Amino acid sequence: MSLRIPDFSSVKALVAGDLMLDRYWLGSASRISPEAPVPVVRITQSQTRAGGAANVAVNLASLGARTALAGVIGRDADGGALRQLLGEQGIELDLVESDGCPTITKLRVLSRSVHGASVCVLSDYAKGSLGRAAQLVQSARNHGVPVLVDPKGTDFSRYRGATALTPNLAEFEAVAGAVTSDEELLARGRRLR
């Protein structure tokens, strides 16, 4: 049974609220700063997205709803960037530009490091997001972080080094073969491990 997204083209949605600009800096962290206990991230990529109520409007527009957005932005570069992002989505804008209220902007610095995590959970749905599962497992293990995997597919070797895999019976049998008893399940599990 396939999931069908309803037709939202007849919906006219008005979103009003706190508009934000979300900025993301992405990179890798290879060391901790000597000046403070924070990772030093080498930024290799940046992204800008609509946040807050603006994100809600973008989501509605992506579903096909005719969307209007009302809110306040600053008369600043971030406000201009947010206005452009929203315009690219075909959202009708009713924005007040304020000299006294700068555009609310959040900056997130994301590293591929797992430093600071006490556990790493890989939830694989075979949609491509975990195409580099082996590297994630290795990075977590290098930092002493246990890795739990909810696997998909017929090749569990890409999760090599994980602390534990939690396949359901069908996922397990797809890799190890059908089992007829608990004893056989345990024996095949030991061989697979």
Distances (CA, A) of 45 to 28, 42, 109, 111: 10, 9, 10, 11
DSSP annotation string for 103-146? PEEEEEEEES--TT-S-EEEE--SSSTTTTHHHHHHHHHHTT--
Interval 127-150: pLDDT, tens = 777 777 888 888 888 888 888 898
- The fraction of the chain above a pLDDT of 70, given in percent, is 94
Question: What is the pLDDT of the chain when averaged over all its residues?
Answer: 88
Confidence label for 105 from pLDDT (cuts 50, 70 and 90): very high
In this model, does residue 113 exceed pLDDT 60? no
Model pLDDT, residue 13? 94
In this model, does residue 26 exceed pLDDT 70? yes
User: Cα separation of 9 and 6, whole Å?
Assistant: 9
Whole-structure pTM over 0.85, yes or no? no
Residues across the chain: 193
